[in-house]
Each structure stands twice: as structure tokens, then as C-alpha cells.
Chains A and B, each alone.
Chain A
Amino acid sequence: MDIKKVYNSKSVEEVIDILGEYGEKAKVIAGGTDIVIALNNNAIEPELLIDISKLEELKGIKVDKEFITIGSATTFTEIVESEIIDNNLYGLHKACKMVGSPQIRNKGTIGGNIANGSPAADSVPPLIALGGIVTLKSIEGTREVLLEDYYYNPIKEKELLLNIKFERPKDNQILTFAKLGLRKALAISRLTLSSFIEFDDNNTISFIRVASGALAKFPMREKELEDYLLGKILEKEIIEGAIEALRNSMDERLKGRSTLPYKRIAISTILREILEEALAFEEGVKAW
């Protein structure tokens, strides 16, 4: 570490200005759960560090008529303890609850989880499944990008990730999540899936987004699987068919990877878990 200057920033405007002035020499720190390790190992060597973890503008969960907006410096613990992120948004609660450990969740932020760009970021698949939109700001202006497209056009040097927002789910829409880790706490995900499903009055899937984590270079939509499930009723053979559909996508994408045979088998339990949780919720049973 060879940091020359540190800022406990007072406002978003100030952060944007500093980032604008110093560019690649500056780094933003929030929860620190990834960046302090990188700093300590000299994997990154910024001259300037800007703390945003106490910026009220970037904290908390806001609800308006159309959207739910989560500030980038909101911690996983704050999300887990929020009454907004519950019921048919339970998948996001569950994902955040499974991040790291209590210590990590108390500090780690949703913005950091996105900006860090890890393929195994737990909170990202549910946010993709929700159709989440990321807002980034720099001295050049503000841009919005769909989270599923974000990884093709990620955060730039001078940008600050402000928040992530998604449409308020309707009563017949349910978000679920499941994770495979090597143990309960502090396990980096081997595999995560999240589905956002809308059921019509006949229990037919009338809208669906499914996102995966750790199945590619970054979390992504599973469109082949979505196409298969759209318009169907979640019966036993349909779930089996869904597993096959996802396996087909994986076979193509992970061809030659040593982890493929393992993930092909593991995916069945994880996919079954998210679909059955969605079904149970639709039938009025809390599956969790």
C-alpha cells in the first residue's frame, strides 16, 4: 500500500469532482471487504482513497410509485433487515443473507458487489432477474444501464455507482434465489440461480427472467431456459425439462471446463429449489 491521501467524502458531488480530477489514481472504498485485501496485497496501488460508506445520499432503500431504489452504499445487513426486501422479493433477501459472514454483511455493500465485477457476486443474479438498472455518474454526466448489460460496459475510472433500481413487483410476481457453496458461511458461490416469475390466473408462467452466477465470466440471463419455461405450468416434467434446457446452455458455454461435469449435476438441485420456491409462494406457502 502506498496511499498518499484519503478522503472521508461529504457529498456525491465532492466524490465526482475528486474522481474527475484524479482518474485512475483514485479509488473509491465503501465496505472495503474486497478492496482492502487488494490494497494489502499490492494488487492495486492507488494514490488516493475516497470513502463513500457514510454518504447518506448513497444509503438506504427508497420506494416510489414505480421503482424500488437501493443506494450503492447500502450494506447487505441493511437489505436483510429491510421490510421492503421481503415477501415476493425474498430472493434478494436470501441472496444478501448468504453473503460472507455477519462481519462481511455489516460492511459489504450492494454497489461494491456490482462494481467489483465478480462472476460469483451473490446479490447480482437476483438484481438481474428483477431487470435492475444501474445509475452511474461522472463529471461527464449520468448514465443508466441495465444490470444484465452492465458487464459489457462496466464502471469507468471517473464514474461513481450511485444506485440500482428495479420496478416494484406485482403480487403475482415472485423472486427466488439459491446458492451452492462449499459451506454455509464465507463460501464463494460455486453456482447461483435466481428467477423472477409472473404467474397468470391459471398458474401459467406469463413472464420470466432467470439469471445465473458463476456459470460464465459474469452473472447473466439464461434465455434458453426462459424461453423453455415461458407459457408453461411448473409441473414435475416441466422442471425436469428446464434442467435439461439449462444444461444445454451450459454445455455450450462451459465446453472443456473441468468444472462442467460437476456443475451439470449440481444445477439440478439449485434450479429445482428456485422453481419450487416460486411455486410454493404462488400457492400461498412460505417456502422459507
Chain B
Amino acid sequence: MVDISITVNDKLYKISINENMRLIDVLRDELGLIGTKEGCGEGECGACTVIMDGEIVNSCLVMGFQADGSSIVTIEGLEREGDLHPVQRAYIEAGAVQCGFCIPGMVLSTKALLDKNPNPSDEEIREGISGNLCRCTGYNKMLEATKKAMEYIKGE
């Protein structure tokens, strides 16, 4: 076992984990944050995307102990006092949500993109979510949702 301390969704956890755990295992099995999904286990699908120290990463490709000292945002960390994050709201309204399994990762990639670049072009939006696969929608709805979210964020 190895001791790590990580901040997840603004909460500090000091935990002892098995050396073999990946970050996704720590989040799901240790912390019960099941919103982070495992779709492929090899960084191809992006369903396990979380924001680690401001950057999106595939949590299936980060070992748990590597996350020691880092700050993680998962899908559970986006709501504020019951209010949805503008990206979440936009995804719902644009009809970008179907089966839902890609959505936590997709929403986090969108949020991280808009945090860095509040006015992305269509090309930049597509690039920003290019590491997240969706098999239901064909991505146009995500594009639409991202543009909606840009407006909501500007209006805040």
C-alpha cells in the first residue's frame, strides 16, 4: 500500500491505496466517484477523462500514486450548490446526451477547453473533444452544446 493525498473536487483525501491502482480505480473503487467511466482502458475513448491540475487526462492511463499531490476535477465536481455548470446545462438543452456513457468525459473536455479558450472556433472545439469518442450522436450536438455553453459563460 502507498499513502497519497489528492484533492478531488476541492476536497482533500489522504488515503492508502494499492500500488497497482490506476487513477480511475482510485476515483471509482476508493472514492465512489462512479461518474468517471471506463470505456476502453487504453486511452482511445476518453470516457475516463478527468481534469488533473487544469489539464484533461485519461484517468485509465495515470497510475494512482502518480496523482499524489495533484488536484482533480471529476464530473461530480461541476455542480455548484445544486446548479448545473453551464456546459452541463448546454449539453442537456442541445440534445447532446444520448446513451450518456461518454458524457462525463465529454463535458469535462469541453469545460477544460472553455477554461483555456473562452472563444474557440468550430475547428478548435472539434479538436478539443477529439480525444472523446461518442457512438450515438456524430458530434454535431456537442459542437452546438459548446457554443451554447460559451454564451452562457459570457452571460454570467
Residues of A at the B interface (CB closer than 8 Å) are 1-6, 8, 29, 31-33, 36-37, 39-40, 49, 51, 53, 77, 100-104, 106-107, 184-186
Instruction: Give Cα A102–Cα B19 distance, bound, in whole angstroms.
Output: 27
Of the listed stretches B72-80, B95-103, B126-134, chain A binds B126-134
List of A residues within 8 angstroms of B19 by Cβ: 3-6, 49
List of A residues within 8 angstroms of B63 by Cβ: 6, 29, 32, 36, 39, 49, 51
Secondary structure of the A side of the interface?
Answer: mixed
| 27 residue pairs from A and B, CB less than 8 Å apart | A3-B19, A3-B20, A4-B19, A6-B63, A8-B65, A8-B68, A31-B61, A32-B66, A33-B43, A36-B63, A37-B43, A40-B60, A49-B19, A51-B65, A51-B66, A100-B43, A100-B131, A101-B43, A101-B130, A101-B131, A102-B130, A103-B46, A103-B61, A106-B55, A106-B57, A107-B57, A107-B61
B35 contacts A by Cβ under 8 Å? no
| Most chain A CB neighbours (cut-off 10 Å) among B41, B42, B69 | B42
List of B residues within 8 angstroms of A37 by Cβ: 41-43, 61
Among B56, B61, B68, B109, point to the contact of A32 (Cβ < 8 A). Answer: B61
Q: Is the pair A6, B65 in contact by a Cβ cutoff of 8 Å?
A: yes
Q: Is the pair B65, A102 in contact by a Cβ cutoff of 8 Å?
A: no
Chain A residue nearest in CB terms to B105: A103
B2 contacts A by Cβ under 8 Å? yes
CB distance from A98 to the nearest CB of B (A): 11
Q: Is the pair A102, B131 in contact by a Cβ cutoff of 8 Å?
A: yes
Instruction: Give Cα A100–Cα B43 distance, bound, in whole angstroms.
Output: 9
With known contacts A6-B65, A107-B61, A102–B22 Cβ distance under 8 A:
no
List of A residues within 8 angstroms of B132 by Cβ: 101
List of B residues within 8 angstroms of A1 by Cβ: 20
Count of B residues near A, CB < 8 Å?
28
List of B residues within 8 angstroms of A4 by Cβ: 19
B15 contacts A by Cβ under 8 Å? no
CB proximity to A under 8 Å, residues B97-117: 109
**Beyond A103-B49, A186-B44: 19 further Cβ-contacts under 8 Å?**
A1-B20, A3-B20, A5-B19, A8-B65, A29-B66, A32-B61, A36-B22, A36-B60, A37-B43, A39-B63, A40-B42, A51-B63, A51-B65, A103-B58, A104-B61, A106-B55, A107-B57, A185-B130, A186-B130
Residues of B at the A interface (CB closer than 8 Å) are 2, 19-20, 22, 41-44, 46, 49, 55-58, 60-63, 65-66, 68-69, 109, 127-128, 130-132
Q: Is the pair A184, B61 in contact by a Cβ cutoff of 8 Å?
A: no
CB distance from B38 to the nearest CB of A (A): 11
List of A residues within 8 angstroms of B60 by Cβ: 36, 40
List of B residues within 8 angstroms of A6 by Cβ: 2, 19, 63, 65
List of A residues within 8 angstroms of B131 by Cβ: 100-104, 185-186
CB distance from A228 to the nearest CB of B (A): 36
List of A residues within 8 angstroms of B130 by Cβ: 101-102, 184-186
With known contacts A49-B63, A185-B131, A106–B56 Cβ distance under 8 A:
yes
Chain A residue nearest in CB terms to B54: A106
List of A residues within 8 angstroms of B65 by Cβ: 6, 8, 49, 51
Instruction: Give Cα A186–Cα B132 distance, bound, in whole angstroms.
Output: 10
Instruction: Give Cα A29–Cα B44 distance, bound, in whole angstroms.
Output: 19
CB distance from B55 to the nearest CB of A (A): 4
Instruction: Give Cα A206–Cα B89 distance, bound, in whole angstroms.
Output: 58
Instruction: Give Cα A40–Cα B43 distance, bound, in whole angstroms.
Output: 12
Instruction: Give Cα A253–Cα B13 distance, bound, in whole angstroms.
Output: 55
Instruction: Give Cα A186–Cα B55 distance, bound, in whole angstroms.
Output: 18
List of B residues within 8 angstroms of A33 by Cβ: 43, 58, 61
